[in-house]
Amino acid sequence: MKKIDDDLKRLIDLRILKLITILESHGQYKYSRHFCQSIGMVEQNFTKVRAGTKHFTPEHIYNIIQCFNINANWIFKFSTPDTKVFTVHKTYTKKAEIEELQKA
């Protein structure tokens, strides 16, 4: 069972890493440290996610969805080939804005 959980987490990580290249091409951020700051992740952990020794947490995933207007169905592959990556809501790039939304 743990193997399945780890495999699923890795698939989600790989999907998010693919998303990062999409975000970069859309000019959402310039350096990985800016991405990490936006989602509340320590940059060293990001390196470990890339290496496959750590995973994005539910909080990181939530922040990615909120900060960059990402369709959660796209991240988790609950989608069809025509599912859009981005939603139409406002982009929140500052952690303070996300925290304010979470309080509401």
Q: According to the model, what pLDDT value does residue 104 have?
A: 44
* pLDDT band, residue 103 (cuts 50/70/90): low
How many structural domains does the chain have?
Answer: 1
Strand-pairing partners, residue 70, are 86
How far, in Å, CA of 70 to CA of 75, rounded?
Answer: 8
Domain with 53, as residue range(s), is 2-103
Whole-model pTM over 0.85: no
- The residue that leads in pLDDT, 28 or 33, is 33
